[in-house]
Amino acid sequence: MIAIMSYIKSAALEETGYVVLDRYNQELDPKEWLDIEYVDWKSSGDTRFAPLASAQGLIECNGFWNSVPPRTDKDGVWIPSQVEKAPNLVRRAQEPGANVGRCRVIELQPTPYGECLYNLHQDDNNRLNPDGTGWVVRGFFNLTDDKDSFFVLRENRTDPQGETRIALPAGAQLIIDTQRLWHAATHIGTDPRYCLITSWESGPELDAYIEKYNGRNHVESVPVDQDILDAGYAEQARRDAARAAYYAAKGQAAVAQAMSEA
């Protein structure tokens, strides 16, 4: 007999891989993200992170699979010194009642559209996640009022067909299967953007939360002039080619080195 297992996933995310929830009234809350402690952590783009929950409850951002013993991105340990400074952010991350893995605030410096396209990536959310349990997805709560910024989602990194651009005003709330969708933020402005990112386990709790806040799996894309889009596509291609050339040159140098040692 063959047992066929699969992950528990949200039906709401099945078609498009994302939902946009009702907007949160961010203005009512204090700016807790300015009080917590940040560490340099290279993600896509020019970023720093302030972890609220981590593998061991320390102020670090490493994947839980690099912890000892290695484990999947669930059962994050809340960091007391950060929780104390950001009770509202913690309350919001815990509101669904779904298992929380990593939970952190990202600080992103201004990022034009072409650079954002170069930054498009998929997250490694489900490494070591046991089959038959809930698929890990991520919540993105925009904290700063980034009126001209938007999240870019694609099924294929280099194909703009079907690209979705989701607006990022203060209080914007998205849940995204970021292991499935290529994603990155275009951030227009002069100040950094702050966003609370939480890894949640899919299941009935998360489904109920999505329903409660009217999760919509289709939204109108933020309109962007065609010339800016075209310039962005060209910039992504240029940066991709430069990266490929860099690694090709490095590879050839390694081959030359190996041959000289042979």
Which residues sit at the interface with Fe ion, rule CB under 5 A? 123, 178
Residue number, 83 or 155, with CB nearest to Fe ion: 155
Give least dist CB 98 to Fe ion, A. Answer: 18
Kindly write down the DSSP assignment for every residue of 114-133, as one continuous string: HHHHHH-B-----TTPPTTS
Residue number, 126 or 178, with CB nearest to Fe ion: 178
Residue with tokens 């292991």: 179
Phi and psi torsions of 71, nearest 5°:
-150, 175
Give least dist CB 149 to Fe ion, A. Answer: 16
Residue number, 123 or 201, with CB nearest to Fe ion: 123
Q: Which 3 state secondary structure label does DSSP give 210?
A: helix
Q: Among all residues, whose Cβ is closest to Fe ion? A: 123
Give least dist CB 121 to Fe ion, A. Answer: 6
Residue with tokens 């951002």: 61
Give least dist CB 178 to Fe ion, A. Answer: 5
H-helix or E-strand spanning residue 258: helix 226-261
Residue number, 89 or 116, with CB nearest to Fe ion: 116
Give least dist CB 43 to Fe ion, A. Answer: 7
Residue number, 123 or 177, with CB nearest to Fe ion: 123
Residue number, 54 or 178, with CB nearest to Fe ion: 178
Residue number, 99 or 178, with CB nearest to Fe ion: 178
Q: Which 3 state secondary structure label does DSSP give 219?
A: coil
d(CA 187, CA 106): 13
CB within 8 A of 175, min separation 6: which ones? 10, 13, 18, 19, 21, 137, 138, 139, 140, 200, 206, 210, 215
On the question of a cis peptide bond just before residue 69, with omega within 30 degrees of 0, the verdict is yes
Give least dist CB 107 to Fe ion, A. Answer: 14
Residue number, 85 or 199, with CB nearest to Fe ion: 199
Give least dist CB 201 to Fe ion, A. Answer: 17
H-helix or E-strand spanning residue 176: strand 173-176
Note whether 139 and 162 are within 8 A (CB).
no
Q: Is beta strand 100-108 parallel, antiparallel or unpaired with respect to 39-40?
A: unpaired
Note whether 234 and 114 are within 8 A (CB).
yes
Give least dist CB 183 to Fe ion, A. Answer: 6
Tokens of 64: 């839980």
